[in-house]
Structure 1
Amino acid sequence: MGAGRMQIESFHDTVTGTVTHVVADAATGMAAVIDPVLDFEPQSGTLTSAGADRVIDLVRSRGWQLQWILETHAHADHLSAAQHVRHALGGKVAIGARIREVQQMFRSVFHFERSFLPDGSQFDHLFEDGERFLIGELEVTALWVPGHTPADMAYRVQDAVFVGDTLFMPDVGTARADFPGGDAATLYLSIQRLLALPADSRLHVCHDYPPPERAAAWVSTVGEQRRGNIHVRDGITQDAFVQMRSARDATLSMPTLILPSVQVNVRAGKLPPAEEDGRAYIQVPINAFFNNGALPPGL
């Protein structure tokens, strides 16, 4: 299968640092969108779709037919635009099968409605590790890469790998591992799985938080990561990584959009069911992640 038939277009969301990728088989016109983003302004609760609409416009302008909307995991820093994209373009919404574990963890945190089942049925397809599928005639392999969350997936298409929240650009390092179900030692092993691929494999990250001296970027090679990743370059042991990652994660604040994002993203990008007034509401559970849920006296 010729490499020239695969086309990749990427969109960087400057607010959340997320990169949405579009992968297409030029010969058949079939395409996939990876990690689409809705625009959410938490101070006012305003939800819009300008960023996702740019992706939709590209797919339409190329005459491509959308086959898949692929999530690498249930993101904690943006609301998925999967349903908005599917409404406009069609396609199946898919994620890794371990999303069930994430749904189970957060079902009680957010006191979801009784009809919500943590069985992954909100998605059209759940990928198992090593499962192969097609974008047109391009073969894709789903790779389970847990650690950031229990359910992270990467998608390998020829020499391109869409790595989700495992690796960032070499000068930024790696994803945090302190979310519920995350584990730094597991993340290290997942990264080593990716870094065992051929050195010229292109790794497409799904976030970039560039330092001031460079513009946003989202493609590196396995060789570049092994030589220069500030967290996991060659020679850094698992123990050293876990120590570094644990210490660093302890200094990080929670992502601004974690509460609204998780509630939507474990539902495959659907909003919670509307209340009697016709509006959908995002919950803010008090002390759900701290103090074992205990409230200050008198409250």
Structure 2
Amino acid sequence: MNPIVHTRFEPKTCSWQYIVVCPKTKDCAIIDPVLDYDLANFTVSTQSADALLKIVRKEHLQVTHLLETHAHTDHLTAAYYLQATLWAKGHPHAPICIGENVNIVQSFCAHRYNIPKEEFKNSFDHLFKPDEKFSIGEMTAVAIDLPGHSPDHGAYHIGSNVFTGDSLFLPDIGSARCDFPGGDAKTLWRSMQRLLEFPDTTRLYTGHDYPPNNEASARDPISFVTVREQRETNKHLKGGSTEEDFVAWKGGRDHALSEPIMLHQALQVNVRGGKMPGRSHDGKALLLCLVSVPKVLLTG
């Protein structure tokens, strides 16, 4: 059975959010919802998440799962906000789910940001094992283990669709970076090859789209292409690219990239499943921002 897929693009972080619906029961899963964050004013808002709830209400849907492909480094997750809001409106509890290797990311972030264990332990309701099956209404879904971009990264195979998160982007963008802690270019290559093993007509829904900025090549954001299109036109995979070529190129390019502008805020919220830190000041959550200080300033 193929789902009905509602797509929502969040332009600030160029993130795709998905509502995946069982056409028979109207049960649905929400994948990678975004919590809006204003870096200039340090404020959180819920416009993007509320737009998802508007679709749920309009289509008379029942949210049965809140699915994360990984602990994102470029935007805050709205999973906990959606769970709490739906519960308050009388909906059944919708579990927040992610791959079991999120424990690796949580341990790293707990050390880096001094996060108390009680603030991230059991912050997800369910941790998927590799290739674990679960149901969304009468549809069977599979949680695919796709590490490389991060150790906890996964995707969701539902009908003739795979929601790939940040493992594989659109053909003109290529593939995700793998220079974050626990990322690995060889592992990412193998994860991408696994996606290309699906039938040619399988739709691969991406986690982000970054349309070209110049007017000559500008296009509207795209949520998916087929496996065939990825295999034939993805700029990091086509033309007989080998694993060795990919790993060598990734090692040079990725380490030259600047870090995502919401990296520290996103990780601290996302390893908590979308909850804010317990520490606060005048009612505002305290998020630790790590700043790289030039050595000359430290030595005088």
Structure-2-length-normalised TM-score: 0.92
CA contact (8 A) 1:200 1:223 kept: yes
Distance 2:162 2:78 in 1: 21
1:88-136 superposed Cα distances (whole Å, 9 cap, x missing partner): 224110000000000011111001125345x5x1101000101000111
CA contact (8 A) 1:56 1:88 kept: no
1:246-274 superposed Cα distances (whole Å, 9 cap, x missing partner): 22212210000001000000000011014
Distance 1:135 1:230 in 2: 34
Q: Which residue of 2 aligns with 1:240?
A: 245
Q: Which residue of 2 aligns with 1:123?
A: 124
The Cα shift of 1:295 comes to 7.7
3-state SS of 1:164 partner: coil
Distance 1:57 1:35 in 2: 16
* 2:65 is equivalent to residue 68 of structure 1: yes
Aligned residue pairs, count: 290
Q: Which residue of 2 aligns with 1:38?
A: 35
Q: Which residue of 1 aligns with 2:91?
A: none
Change (3 A) 1:88 1:46: same
Q: Which of 208, 213, 223 pairs up with 1:218?
A: 223
The Cα shift of 1:43 comes to 1.4
Distance 1:236 1:92 in 2: 40
Change (3 A) 1:295 1:76: farther
1:17-71 superposed Cα distances (whole Å, 9 cap, x missing partner): 1000100012111010000001101111011011111111001110001000000
Instruction: Within 5 Å, give how 1:62-141 maps onto structure 2.
Output: 62-90=59-87, 91-116=94-119, 119=121, 121-141=122-142
Amino acid at match of 1:76: T
* 2:288 is equivalent to residue 283 of structure 1: yes
Listed as ranges, the gaps of 5+ residues in structure 2 are 88-93
Amino acid at match of 2:146: V
* 2:276 is equivalent to residue 271 of structure 1: yes
CA contact (8 A) 1:11 1:20 kept: yes
CA contact (8 A) 2:110 2:117 kept: no
3-state SS of 1:233 partner: coil
Q: Which residue of 2 aligns with 1:51?
A: 48
Structure-1-length-normalised TM-score: 0.93
Distance 1:174 1:198 in 2: 20
- Of 11-20 and 86-95, the range deviating more from structure 2: 86-95
CA contact (8 A) 2:26 2:60 kept: yes
Q: Which of 10, 14, 32 pairs up with 1:13?
A: 10
Change (3 A) 1:272 1:96: same
Runs of 4+ in 1 over 4 A off after TM superposition: none
Amino acid at match of 2:158: V
Q: Which residue of 2 aligns with 1:205?
A: 206
Q: Which residue of 2 aligns with 1:152?
A: 153
Distance 2:118 2:22 in 1: 38
3-state SS of 1:255 partner: coil
Q: Which of 8, 12, 25 pairs up with 2:22?
A: 25
CA contact (8 A) 1:226 1:234 kept: no
Distance 2:81 2:31 in 1: 13
Distance 1:167 1:72 in 2: 12
- Of 105-114 and 63-72, the range deviating more from structure 2: 105-114
3-state SS of 2:28 partner: strand
CA contact (8 A) 1:109 1:285 kept: no
Distance 1:59 1:115 in 2: 32
Listed as ranges, the gaps of 5+ residues in structure 1 are none
CA contact (8 A) 1:65 1:89 kept: no
Distance 1:244 1:186 in 2: 14
